[in-house]
Amino acid sequence: MNTNKDSILTKSRNTIRPIYNISPFTLLDFPDFAACILWFAGCNMRCGYCYNPEIVEGKGRVSYEEALSFLDKRKNLLDGVVLSGGECTLHQGLPWLASQIKRKGMKVKIDTNGSRPSVLENLIAERLVDYLALDFKSLPENFQSVTKSKFFAAFEESLELLVYSKVPFEVRTTIHSHLFTPKDITEMVKFLEASGYQGNYYLQHFVGNTRTLEELPPSELRKIERDYSVPGIKVIWRK
């Protein structure tokens, strides 16, 4: 047994603070389960409509061990834990944290932009995730302008991985009428259909009453809100 290595890892988990903050309770973010949310600091995308700029641009304040201590105190109140952000898959200790959560008898949900398919593959292979929410930011022609990144191929790989896995997941897109037209949404549904996705596709209204990464004009939802469902994919507007 390499006790020196174990000691270093334990010290690292106590000193590194990857989590920005914790939402202690939610009935909305993990379907059918009472959960808390661990918000991981940092992100590899810079979507202008992002309403968590302090998390995306900020530094973590909570260590893994502190988060696990919080979960111990909520053991009889929570069914699951949402690992969100920011982008939680950027953090090296995520699989270890997920394994510790599972050992406590809690379920794990991952919120991700799909930019780290290898991390998702590992989590699925190790049975460390029970549900995922995959953000579909845009089609490839607008992906860089929306996200300020070049991760569309990685997102596509993550989508393919999830389609052929047995892990329940949903796809979701934040919609701002300045960034998306009805034709864009129709084409995104077609893309999901061609990728083999079947299930719910959630369109989330941009809400402009909080600070975002960019100052955007008001979103005129009446121009774009309609039913885009096709056989096999139910499109649901989240208010």
Could you report the per-residue pLDDT of 102-111, keeping only the tens digit for each? 999 999 999 9
Domain assignment of residue 178, yes or no: no
Angle at 93 between CA 120 and CA 155, to 5 degrees: 25
Q: What is the pLDDT of residue 28?
A: 95
Domain assignment of residue 126, yes or no: yes
For the four alpha carbons of 70, 171, 148 and 160, in that order, the dihedral sign comes to: positive
Tell me which H or E stretch contains 219. none
With 70 as the cut, is the pLDDT of residue 7 above it?
no
Task: List, for residues 107-134, the tens digit of each pLDDT value.
Answer: 999 999 999 999 999 999 999 999 999 9
With 90 as the cut, is the pLDDT of residue 146 above it?
yes
Domain assignment of residue 53, yes or no: yes
In the three-class reduction of DSSP (H, G, I as helix; E, B as strand; rest coil), residue 131 is classed as strand
Across 33-79, where does the E strand assignment appear? 35-40
Q: What is the pTM of this model?
A: 0.93
The dihedrals phi and psi of 79, each to the nearest 5 degrees, come to -95, -30
Instruction: Give residue 186's pLDDT band: very low, low, confident or very high (50, 70, 90).
Output: very high
Q: What is the pLDDT of residue 229?
A: 98
CATH number of the domain bearing residue 111: 3.20.20.70
Q: Which residue has the higher pLDDT, 229 or 212?
A: 229
Contacts of 238 (CB under 8 A, 6+ apart): 172, 202, 203, 204, 205
Say how many domains are in the chain: 1
Domain assignment of residue 201, yes or no: no
With 80 as the cut, is the pLDDT of residue 79 above it?
yes
Domain assignment of residue 235, yes or no: no
Sheet containing strand 80-85, edge to edge, reads 19-26, 35-40, 80-85, 107-112, 131-135, 169-175, 199-205, 233-238
Q: Which domain holds residue 79?
A: 3-173
Domain assignment of residue 219, yes or no: no
Domain assignment of residue 214, yes or no: no
Domain assignment of residue 186, yes or no: no
Contact 158, 112 (CB under 8 A): yes
